[in-house]
Structure 1
Amino acid sequence: MKPLNSVLALGALALVIAGGFHYWPESSKPAAMQAPNGSTPSRAAATPTTEPTQSGDQRVVELAVKYLELYGDTITEPATQARLYNERRNLLARYPDAGDELFQSAVTTAFPELADSIFALMAKLDLYNRWLDNHELRLQGLPDMERYAELWQQREAIFGPLASQIWAEEQNPVEAKSDQFQQTLARLDQANQMPLTELAHQLQTTADELYGADLARQLAGSGATGHALFSMDSVQQQLASLPADKRQQTINALRRQIGYSEETVRQLAEEDQRREEKWQKGKAYMAERRALENRLNGDQLEAALTDLRQEHFGFSAPTIEREEEEGFFRFERERRYGLN
């Protein structure tokens, strides 16, 4: 499936469209307000317990190992840190008296250098979820586009530029709005000879015409318009042909053109650099991996691959190994500049 079509099909996957990291009872939770990848805590799984049955230290170590396994590879990314919110809620539901202390100790053990930023993000997610609780009925009664716009406005108010990173995989409401807009996206997706600035201009003009300038600006500020722009094959082909430094300059200019603030452009450029470093490391790893596969086999190959993963990925090596056992090689995915 083409990347653009994948973006347009996100609604069928029940990703976070309106509720984000928020608990909704399964019996009444709207499909458009579910958390991604089934991460919403379950009431049935959370039987309150005053104290953990295991010793506190043992439970902290087990949780720290779990968090490293599940989140360690991408824990520097705000979206990954936000996924810990449901881990914390599960602990609080199971251990009302000790859950928060367990969570803080486990996070500090697993990610000591990031613990403060993770705890600060948890506090903001608490604030956001309280707002959702207080406005739940009113939000459900709004038309889709008005609800999306208000949700994004509140996310921007609480999280600032991090909002577009935390909810990066959410279905893009601009893309989901109308057949007419999807037809425009499909046309621009194939416009390989059209200059990048013109592609951005036509995308923004279409959004303004269909949704009105005010709502289009809100969607641009949320990152939705940028996601649509950088999902297009025509944009990716032109970006891929540029030298790395020129490519980043071009991405920055496109973001400014569609309404990103200078601070957001700067922060996203830093995130782009971190992604680039990961991709370069992954490219080197895959080349060395193929060389080993050409020379070795059996137990010798497995031992060499274990060492190679450890050399390149450190504590994330077990996660990489498990993915490969399941046939998934993350660095063989298609690179999408400005997105992954």
Structure 2
Amino acid sequence: MNRRKAPLLLAFVLLLAGSALLVFKTRPGPGASPETAPASTPATPRSQGFTAQGPWAPVDGEPGREAGLERPEKDLVSYLRSRYGARIREPHTQMRMLEELMRHFQKLNPTGWEADLLAALQQAFPELYEELAQRLRQRLDYEKWVKEHHAELKDKPAAERRAAMWEERHRLFGKEVAEKIWVAELRNLAVADALTAIDALPGASVGERMAEYKKGLEKAYGENAQAYVQTHQQELMNRFLDLGSVQKDLGTLPPAQRAQELRTIRQEMGLDEEALRRWEELDRVRDTRWEVGSQYMSEREALAQQYSGPELEARLTELRARYFSDEAQTVAEEEQSGFFRFTRPRQWGRN
């Protein structure tokens, strides 16, 4: 048997015999319950190719997502052709496949994974083998560069760090290929820039800012904008609601008008009627909680002005039990640590 293929065949046996199924992290779909939504989503780009977890971020900007390599339907070659074959000539698709294969073979054979990976490429896509092997070398050279310059990059301002990384990407991959590989990052940056501009619009209403936001998404994602919004409703809605200008405007509105503005924002993000009703119910629960919290803090402050020491603690224990019941102990522990949940800023539509 060809010794070059032996590790690959061994990988097939191990893969089919004992690999654990990978647990997928699902996104909330259209109409998903707001109770299961993320607590927060940053308004900054998710991936700059330089993270606290490591110097290399996956090209799709979604660290931690596997494509299912650990459970191929027949064998590795069939899986690669089925999953990537239709778009294998696209640099972005090539890089996603290479990263998946790297994770897979590095687990199976930490010292000889590269030869196994190349053997898999040779069998799956022989007509593109040289191009894919070159892409792998470029990928490894870039990772090496980022690791070597990690400290230097970390100390740079974000804009300078991005510029340095893009300069190296252009050098290693070529400008056209690099921009195709990191297309998700470029789009995400475009949306972030649009949000910055929207936040700075003088005198714009919430509706006008939302209209500009949708234009920014359409510009960044083109004909795929609607599909992208549909699969990223929660994240995109949160990024808009996190704008200081939007929060300021919502905070100045009467409750009924604010509720209508929140409903319109969610409609613009494609939520269906059932989801809108669930969000409105959650808003009512949150409003009630904040009202209770405001009353509690007022009484707490009054007690703190009258009492101290054990007497104050005893009265606060009674107060927390009256307002929070089963949560009273949790609130007490938070306050002992210096955290007062109802002194945080109210983020309309977010908490």
Superposition TM-score, scaled by structure 2 size: 0.49
- Alignment size in residue pairs: 201
Distance 2:338 2:46 in 1: 23
2:266 aligns with: 255
Unpaired segments ≥5 residues, structure 2: 1-39, 54-60, 73-78, 85-91, 97-182
Instruction: Give the counterpart of 2:326 among 306, 311, 315.
Output: 315
Please give the root-mean-square deviation of Cα atoms over the aligned residues, in Å: 3.8
Q: What whole-Å deviation, never above 9, does each CA across 1:189-213 have from its counterpart, x for those lacking one?
A: 2325112111111111111111134
**Pair 208,174 (structure 1): closer, same or farther in 2 beyond 3 Å:** farther
**Pair 262,180 (structure 1): closer, same or farther in 2 beyond 3 Å:** same
**Correspondence 1:324 to 2:335:** yes
Distance 2:337 2:46 in 1: 23
**Pair 256,33 (structure 1): closer, same or farther in 2 beyond 3 Å:** same
Instruction: Give the counterpart of 2:216 among 194, 203, 206.
Output: 206
**Pair 328,269 (structure 1): closer, same or farther in 2 beyond 3 Å:** same
2:301 aligns with: 290
**Pair 296,176 (structure 1): closer, same or farther in 2 beyond 3 Å:** farther
1:77 aligns with: none
Instruction: Give the counterpart of 1:179 among 179, 189, 192.
Output: 189
1:74 aligns with: none
Assess if the C-alpha contact under 8 Å between 1:8 and 1:175 holds in 2: no
**Pair 252,314 (structure 1): closer, same or farther in 2 beyond 3 Å:** same
2:314 aligns with: 303
**Correspondence 1:246 to 2:257:** yes
Task: Give how far 1:179 is off.
Answer: 2.8
**Pair 176,292 (structure 1): closer, same or farther in 2 beyond 3 Å:** farther
Q: How does 1:99-178 map to 2 (within 5 A)?
A: 177-178=187-188
Unpaired segments ≥5 residues, structure 1: 15-29, 35-128, 145-172
Identity of aligned residues (%): 28
Q: What whole-Å deviation, never above 9, does each CA across 1:69-91 have from its counterpart, x for those lacking one?
A: xxxxxxxxxxxxxxxxxxxxxxx
**Pair 200,330 (structure 1): closer, same or farther in 2 beyond 3 Å:** same
Instruction: Give the counterpart of 1:228 among 239, 248, 253.
Output: 239
In structure 1, what residue type is equivalent to 2:64?
Answer: M
Distance 1:300 1:335 in 2: 31
Distance 1:132 1:312 in 2: 51
Distance 1:176 1:279 in 2: 39
Task: Give how far 1:262 is off.
Answer: 1.7
**Pair 268,235 (structure 1): closer, same or farther in 2 beyond 3 Å:** same
Structure with bigger gyration radius:
2
Distance 2:261 2:221 in 1: 27
In structure 2, what residue type is equivalent to 1:209?
Answer: K
Distance 1:272 1:278 in 2: 10
**Pair 179,216 (structure 1): closer, same or farther in 2 beyond 3 Å:** same
**Pair 296,33 (structure 1): closer, same or farther in 2 beyond 3 Å:** same
In structure 1, what residue type is equivalent to 2:315?
Answer: A
